[in-house]
Amino acid sequence: MSGQRLVSAGRRGAHSPLRPVTGAAQRTVLITGGTSGLGLGVAGALARDPSWQVVITGRDAARAREAAATVGAQAAVLDLGSLHSVRAFAARFAAEERPPLRALVANAGLQHLQGTAVSADGFEETFAVNHLGHFLLVQLLFDRLAPPARVVVVSSDTHDPAQSSGMPAPRFTTAHELARPDAAWAQGDSPATAGRRRYTTSKLCNVLFTYELERRLGGRGVTFNAFNPGLMPGTGLARDYPAYQRLAWRYLLPALTLVHRNVNTPRRSAAALARLVDDPSLQDVSGRYFSGERAIASSEESGDRDKAADLWQTSLELTGLA
3-class secondary structure, 278: helix
Rounded to a whole number of angstroms, the distance between the first and last alpha carbons of the chain is 23
The yes-or-no verdict on residue 315 having pLDDT over 90 is yes
- 240 pLDDT band, cuts 50/70/90, is low
pTM: 0.85
Task: Sort 143 into a burial class: Cβ within 10 Å, 0-12 / 13-18 / 19+.
Answer: exposed
Residue type (1 letter), 139 = Q
What's the whole-number average pLDDT of the chain? 87
pLDDT of 255 reads 42
Cα separations (Å) of 257 from 42, 267, 290, 292?
A: 18, 11, 19, 13
Contacts of 51 (CB under 8 A, 6+ apart): 24, 25, 26, 27
pLDDT of residue 247: 44
How many other CB atoms are found less than 10 A from the CB of residue 11? 11
Mean pLDDT confidence for 216-226: 97
CA distance 31 to 121: 23
Catalytic residues: 199
Q: What percent of the chain has pLDDT over 70?
A: 83
Q: Which 3 state secondary structure label does DSSP give 231?
A: strand
Specify the pLDDT at position 231: 73
**Residue range 156-176: average pLDDT?**
94
What is the C-alpha to C-alpha distance for residues 203 and 197, in angstroms, rounded to an integer?
A: 10
Predicted confidence (pLDDT) per residue in 115-145, tens digit: 789 999 999 999 999 999 999 999 999 999 9
How is residue 23 annotated by DSSP? Answer: S
pLDDT the model gives residue 181 = 85
pLDDT at 9 over 60: no
Domains recognised in the chain with CATH numbers: 6-318 (3.40.50.720)
Residue 267 has pLDDT above 80, yes or no: yes
Segment 63-81, tens digit of pLDDT: 999 999 999 999 999 999 9
